Amino acid sequence: PVVLQNAVDSGGQALAQGWRNWLADVTRVPTNGDEANRERFVVGENVAVIPGKVVFRNRLIELIRYAPQTDKVRPEPLLIVPSWIMKFYILDLSPHNSMVRYLVGKGHTVYMLSWRNPDESDRELSMDDYIELGVLDAVRAVGEDAACPALHAMGYCLGGTFLAMAAAALARKNGVAGYRHVPALKTLTLLAAQVDFTEPGELGLFIDESQINLLDHLTKGQGYLTGKQMGGSFQFLHSRDLVWSRRMREYLMGERDQSNDLMAWNADTTRMPARMHHEYLVALYLKNALAHGRIQVGGQPVSLKSLRMPMFVVSTQRDHVSPWHSVYKTHHLVDAEVTFVLTSGGHNAGIVSEPGHANRRYQIGTRPEHGPWISADEWLQSAEKVEGSWWPAWQAWLAAHSSAPVKAKPIPAANAICDAPGEYVMTRYVE
């Protein structure tokens, strides 16, 4: 009825525009309105604009160091590891909601890992490559660039899962060959990151042996999974909002969604190498190997029981990718002190939750090292309720686990490869 009334009110123009929208999507020839919408947010121009330099690069990552914005900084830098299925600048969107800007404004030296967008030549990159060339190389590079004995580390989504693996490997008695003289991890923060995949939520409906065989067939020839192929699964987790309601608006009512910075980022898709994609789906989702101590890093198994540093774990109420009850299972696997946060919002919007963002609230509670176990539902009943963004609570926690501020220094020119946001983030493919 809504569509019919809209067609009558518009004299049929809404249906005609809907036809043009459909034709543009099918032929991939954007309308003038689509082009204007696409140009509203451009990486390096109005998103991902916080000043910094790329100070390290290998075949898989660039490491960005952001310029200090305060006279004094905490001596322990913060390394951020985003997921490889997204580009890093979800944490550096527009200046008003950039987590990077917020942190450097509070006196933290921030390093950001930017994953390379792979192509067919990267088909044999493995999980080990992503942990070693990605996370461990970044830890070592931060230590060399900042000349620091210790650092804070934060990982988002699957970046957090791989960071936890790397941290557990470094915490082993014999560490990781080739990385035995890297800085210590003083704290570990995981944002919407699972380490136990027993109950991965609705995403588990899309991951079984038959689906993985289908994905293997898709990636066998091209050597990677495209962002479009991957994105379909995530859309159907929110099918009412992201598929059916959206298509009704666009094709039957002639209305295009007006892009915001988060939507523009979400459309900036990335690829995944065929081998690594297969390995992480089988190891994590099918076999739950990390929770069972069967994941190997550097040829030896890792256990999250090795983690001793304080941990800050953030989950979101409406997360269909990393459901909060699943994220809460971190408590099962570590004996370290865990500060757990459950914030309003979903997998992305709940994380991009800057101070001043309307209608934000969270709950927070800390379990001491070797503390007693309580269930997720018991925690929900007892945890402190706070109005506003969780960012200040995390920043205060980081500051409390840092040493006294020291005089800030500019990024040495000799260490700079290019300006932030770097080159790897700019790579786009037409799929």
Question: In the numeric block, which tokens belong to residue 319?
Answer: 């997360």
Q: Assign 249 to helix, strand or coil.
A: helix
Residue that has been written with the tokens 């136990």 in this structure: 196
Query: Across the chain, which distance is largest between two alpha carbons, in Å?
Result: 74
Q: Catalytic annotation on 418?
A: no
Question: In the numeric block, which tokens belong to residue 196?
Answer: 């136990």
Q: In 39-157, which residue ranges form alpha helices assigned H by DSSP?
A: 99-105, 127-129, 137-146
At 347, phi and psi to the nearest 5? -60, -35
Query: 165 burial class (0-12, 13-18, 19+ CB within 10 angstroms)?
Result: buried
Residue that has been written with the tokens 């590079």 in this structure: 141
Catalytic residue among 78, 135, 146, 157: 157
Q: Assign 231 to helix, strand or coil.
A: helix
> For helices 13-27 and 2-9, what crossing angle results, to 10°?
110
How far from 106 is each of 91, 103, 279, CA to CA, in Å?
A: 16, 5, 39
Rounded Cα distance between 139 and 132, Å, is 10
Omega of the bond leading into 421 within 30 degrees of 0 (cis): yes
Of 307, 308, 311, the closest CA to residue 366 belongs to 311
Contact between residue 104 and residue 70 where contact means Cβ atoms under 8 Å apart:
yes
Indicate the Cα dihedral angle 352, 353, 354, 359, nearest 10°: 150
Q: CB-based contacts of 218: which residues, under 8 Å, 6+ apart?
A: 225, 229
Concatenating the DSSP letter of every residue in 262-308 gives HHHHHHS---EEHHHHHHHIIIIIIT-TTTTT--EETTEE--GGG--
Q: Assign 16 to helix, strand or coil.
A: helix
Pairing state of beta strands 110-115 and 72-73? unpaired
Question: Which residues are tagged catalytic?
Answer: 157
